[in-house]
């Protein structure tokens, strides 16, 4: 993985002032150095500038970027962040047509594939990616993003300039792009955050390339092209054929994503998703005479303070240990204390350039910083719940029938700390409903689908387009902040396309969520894991963490210049701080309850201070 950034302007000649524009490219690259600092590169021509900060994973010696290749007298240059897992399938046809790779990097394969097949070559790729290609033959810049948005790519149009980068901070390093906050940004932040509408950011006029899209910038302007979208179709396979098909797709994705010129590890949470990934990866490594590194995460004193609830019924540790009895790995138990967790709340905003899932983000950021000391590539179990229907809103009737985004359908908790006039001005309920209806209307329904079948189709679509995207954003920023490449085998587009169309009764046999996945891997999981109820990512219940949050918010309330004071009601907030924490009623997802609401506004205050934003 890497960081990419650049700019394009067809009415400006950057070669007239190369020192200045090379300096700007270096500034844009430098703020992304945490994404990879193994090598750095720049490319500057008349109308285009590209910069690259590299995390060397494949072809360590010869894979530096930006990479240029010449064909029929014209130069083509790529600046790329990601991994392609099917290069071996692309190379033979490219070779037959005279495109001979001089490196073993996937970067060169992408560039030759574009030259050979044209702009829609992206349909042939299996992987996670965000990249820019400068085509000197057609005098145009192309920006690509993978099908489900695993890798980020932001852009802004300022006058005749297009500016882009892997993270917002790279765009802000360009002189024409400044961080601003408008009404829509506040509505995104307070009505649906920490999720956000696909294609938008919280900053005014700063956008994302949509997942499954590529954009072409030329003298004719900016054009957006869709190359992939979820579709609905009839499922005709029997249950056990579906199980076998699922097994093949998931195992194939895991094995493909083991490709690397540096050692690969896995996150082992003790849930069925990460356990499946670990089991397949461990066997893959063992057949090659190597031992897989695995990492589990927990919080200091969690054995003492853990509080079981409907969303998190039990601890993960016993199940991690059971997997370690079954599979030979080099395992590390990682632990985070309450002070490190609180401190990382601010680093998580630095990583994402926006407030996020508070300690759900900050804990993962902290753990990834520890993993990165031993490994540069990690496989995770992320995305299985969104795809296979693991969340309670897929099967609990009262959640299935509730209006709105099922992970955040009630806006009332978000108003608990806000000034009344702010809530009225922003119309948070109306904005949330607008975004929900907008997305719901795009869900691809089968003809004749109605009732619960229609509801589950819509919820499945919304989970992939919204909730999964939020978790993928979290995974990318928290891992890449410490130069760790996190891969997500379950987000393979072949798995998503297939399982999206599997009937619910196959996913929820005998009232058990994710039965299809359990049956597909019944021979690799110990019985305790195979029949375990879902338990989400771990969180702390330490009272010391709550005390730190309360103290942090009180300091904000005591500071008249704290920017978030323009949004929150001091009296309501002080009263809220007196109330006992409620862990069983999340206001976002399954993990963000009372303490996380306090943490969210602490993050908002820090974010507004950092970027000098005003409401």
Catalytic annotation, residues: 2
At residue 205, what are phi and psi to the nearest 5 degrees? 60, 30
How many of the other CB atoms lie within 10 Å of CB of 19? 7
Q: How far apart are CA 64 and CA 45, in angstroms?
A: 18
Q: Supply 111's token pair.
A: 């560039």
Q: How far apart are CA 50 and CA 107, in angstroms?
A: 15
- β pairing state of 329-336 and 221-226: unpaired
Centroid of chain to Cα 529:
26
Nearest of 230, 194, 236, 197 to residue 212 by alpha carbon: 230
Q: In 3-state terms, what secondary structure has residue 263?
A: coil
Element (H, E) at 241: helix 239-256
Cβ-based neighbours of 235, under 8 Å, separated by 6 or more: 242, 501, 502, 503, 506
Nearest of 158, 145, 129 to residue 7 by alpha carbon: 158
Q: In 3-state terms, what secondary structure has residue 547?
A: helix
Residue with tokens 């999981």: 525
Length of the chain: 615
Q: How far apart are CA 485 and CA 325, in angstroms?
A: 27
Q: How far apart are CA 442 and CA 61, in angstroms?
A: 45
**Bridge partners of residue 78, in order along the sequence:** 67, 133
**Could you tell me the strand order of the sheet in which 140-145 lies?**
67-71, 74-84, 127-135, 140-145, 213-218, 221-226
How many of the other CB atoms lie within 10 Å of CB of 348? 29
Q: Would you give the DSSP letter of residue 592?
A: B
């Amino acid at each position: 993985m890497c960081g990419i950034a650049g700019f394009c302007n067809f009415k400006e000649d950057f070669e007239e002032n190369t020192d200045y524009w090379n300096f700007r490219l270096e500034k844009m690259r430098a703020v992304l150095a945490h994404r990879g600092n193994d090598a750095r590169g720049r490319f500057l021509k008349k109308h285009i500038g590209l910069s690259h900060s590299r995390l060397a994973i494949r072809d360590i010696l010869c894979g530096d970027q930006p990479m240029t290749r010449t064909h029929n007298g014209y130069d083509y240059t790529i600046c790329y962040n990601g991994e392609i897992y099917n290069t071996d399938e692309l190379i033979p046809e490219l070779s037959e047509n005279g495109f001979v790779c001089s490196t073993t990097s996937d970067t060169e394969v992408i560039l030759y594939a574009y030259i050979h097949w044209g702009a829609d070559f992206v349909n042939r790729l299996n992987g996670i990616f965000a990249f820019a290609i400068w085509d000197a033959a057609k005098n145009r810049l192309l920006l690509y993003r993978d099908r489900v948005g695993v890798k980020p790519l932001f852009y802004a149009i300022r006058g005749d300039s297009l500016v882009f980068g892997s993270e917002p901070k790279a765009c802000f390093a360009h002189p024409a792009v400044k961080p601003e906050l408008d009404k829509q940004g506040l509505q995104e932040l307070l009505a649906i955050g920490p999720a956000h509408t696909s294609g938008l950011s919280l900053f005014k006029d700063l956008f994302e390339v949509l997942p499954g899209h590529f954009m072409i910038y030329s003298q004719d302007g900016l054009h957006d092209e869709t190359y992939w979208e979820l579709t609905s179709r009839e499922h005709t396979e029997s249950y056990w054929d579906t199980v076998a098909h699922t097994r093949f797709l998931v195992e194939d994705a895991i094995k493909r994503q083991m490709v690397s010129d540096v050692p690969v590890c896995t996150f082992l949470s003790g849930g069925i998703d990460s356990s499946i990934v670990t089991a397949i990866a461990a066997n893959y490594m063992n057949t090659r005479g190597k031992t897989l590194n695995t990492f589990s995460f927990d919080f200091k004193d969690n054995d003492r303070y853990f509080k079981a609830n409907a969303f998190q019924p039990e601890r993960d540790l016993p199940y991690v240990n059971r997997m370690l009895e079954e599979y030979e790995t080099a395992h590390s138990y990682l632990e985070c204390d309450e002070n490190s967790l609180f401190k990382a709340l601010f680093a998580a905003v630095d990583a994402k350039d926006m407030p996020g899932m508070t300690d759900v983000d900050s804990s993962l950021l902290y753990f990834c910083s520890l993993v990165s000391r031993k490994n540069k590539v990690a496989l995770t179990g992320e995305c299985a719940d969104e795809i296979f229907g693991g969340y309670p809103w897929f099967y609990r009737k009262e959640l299935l029938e509730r209006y709105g985004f099922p992970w955040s359908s009630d806006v009332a908790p978000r108003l608990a700390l806000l000034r009344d006039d702010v809530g009225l001005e922003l119309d948070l309920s109306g904005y949330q409903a607008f975004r929900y209806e907008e997305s719901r209307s795009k869900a691809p329904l089968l003809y004749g689908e109605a009732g619960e079948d229609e509801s589950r189709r819509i919820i499945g679509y919304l989970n992939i387009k919204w909730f999964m995207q939020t978790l993928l954003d979290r995974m990318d920023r928290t891992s890449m902040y410490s130069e760790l490449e996190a891969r997500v085998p379950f987000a393979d587009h072949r798995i998503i396309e297939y399982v999206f169309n599997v009937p619910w009764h196959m996913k929820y046999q005998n009232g058990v969520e994710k039965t299809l996945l359990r049956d597909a891997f019944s021979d690799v999981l110990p019985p305790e894991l195979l029949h375990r109820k879902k338990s989400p990512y771990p969180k702390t219940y330490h009272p010391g963490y709550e005390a730190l949050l309360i103290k942090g918010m009180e300091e904000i309330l005591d500071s008249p210049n704290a920017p978030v004071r323009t949004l929150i009601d001091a009296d309501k907030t002080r009263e809220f701080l007196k109330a006992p924490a409620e862990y069983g009623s999340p206001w976002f997802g399954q993990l963000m309850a009372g303490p996380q609401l306090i943490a969210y506004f602490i993050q908002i205050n820090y974010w507004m201070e950092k970027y000098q934003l005003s409401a």
